[in-house]
Amino acid sequence: MKYKINIINKCEKKFLLIKKIWNLKNDNNSKFSLIIKPNRIELKNNSLSSQKNIWVNFNYKNYQKYKKDKKIKIIKAIKIKKNKFINIIDATAGLGKDAFIFFSYGCKVTMIERHPILSILLFDGLKRGYKDKKIGHLIKKNINIIYNTSMNINQLNIPKPDVIYLDPMFQKKKNNALSKKEIRTIQNLVKYDLNTNLLFQKCFLFCKNKVVVKRPKNEKTISKKKPNYNIKTKKYRFDIYLK
């Protein structure tokens, strides 16, 4: 099945590759535009003219910013200790911010993203990240992406990770890792049709040590299973499920 989106082609080589791998179909009436430029690929929300286009950046500037922030609760949730290398699967990668935070703290990260447009942005961000003069070699070695649904996690021929991280799309609201306009764009782009309880069960069976689930602070848990503990911030919480 082809995914329909308005395609603005400014780089024929990239366009042909994307069209072949992701099976896209041009739709001039789409609410979104995928802008394929020689230097990067961007997503435009055609209904929000004041919003800047969205693209993924895996670069040294962001790497330094995350690495210097010792108070990031997400790091406490996955319990990354100094000099300990952890393998993590971000099973709902989105735009890859959390995955890049994990990488910045020394983790080996596999991102899984089921939505074609988000996965295109991630692939493009990684490809540009490989060229970063300071950390490109580290990105190439320690971050990869799989375009698939995490519902198939036990069929993807990947090693079991220490930790699986879940940040599923919510019906009412999304976490604040992105700006509000970006949140609206992603919510409109990605349909809420994922059985999160089943996804959690599959991830819990597949991981070695634990699953970490990000939730709005006052929302119910993703599963009937009670988390072993949680870590809270002002607007959201991390539910931790130990094996």
Q: Is the dihedral of CA 43, 44, 45, 50 positive or negative?
A: positive
CA-wise closest residue to 92 among 74, 110, 73, 72: 110
Q: Where are the beta strands (DSSP E) in 14-85?
A: 24-26, 32-36, 41-45
pLDDT tens digits for range 118-164: 999 999 999 999 999 999 999 999 999 999 999 999 999 999 999 99
CA dist 148 and 183 (Å) reads: 22
Q: Is the pLDDT of residue 223 over 80?
A: yes
Reported pTM: 0.91
Instruction: Tell whether residue 167 is among the known ligand binding residues.
Output: yes
d(CA 39, CA 21): 19
Q: CA–CA separation, 125 vs 122, rounded Å?
A: 5
Those residues with Cβ within 8 angstroms of residue 146's Cβ, 6 or more apart along the chain or in another chain: 110, 111, 112, 113, 156, 158
pLDDT of residue 133: 96
Owner of token pair 């971050």 = 143
Any idea what DSSP says for residue 221?
A: P
Q: What is the pLDDT of residue 181?
A: 67
At residue 194, the pLDDT reads 73
Q: How confident is the model at residue 50 (pLDDT cuts 50, 70, 90)?
A: confident
Look at phi and psi of residue 44 and say left if phi exceeds 0, alpha if psi is from -120 to 50, else beta. beta
Secondary structure E strands in the chain: 3-9, 24-26, 32-36, 41-45, 87-90, 108-113, 143-147, 163-166, 210-216, 229-232, 236-242
Residue whose C-alpha is closest to residue 178's, from 124, 121, 116 = 121
Measured distance CA(113)–CA(95) in Å, rounded: 9
**What is the per-residue pLDDT for 123?**
98
The enclosing H or E element of 67 equals helix 60-68
Domain residue limits, the chain? 57-242
For the residues 18-32, what does the mean pLDDT come to? Answer: 92
Query: Three-state secondary structure along 163-205?
Result: EEEECCCCCCCCCCCCCHHHHHHHHHHCCCCCCHHHHHHHHHH
CATH of domain 57-242: 3.40.50.150
Res 192: pLDDT:
66
Q: What is the dihedral of CA 234, 172, 92, 72, to 10 degrees?
A: -10
User: pLDDT at position 67, please?
Assistant: 77
Mean pLDDT over 63-87 rounds to: 79
Query: Which position has the higher pLDDT, 115 or 187?
Result: 115
The answer to whether 113 is a known ligand-binding residue is: yes
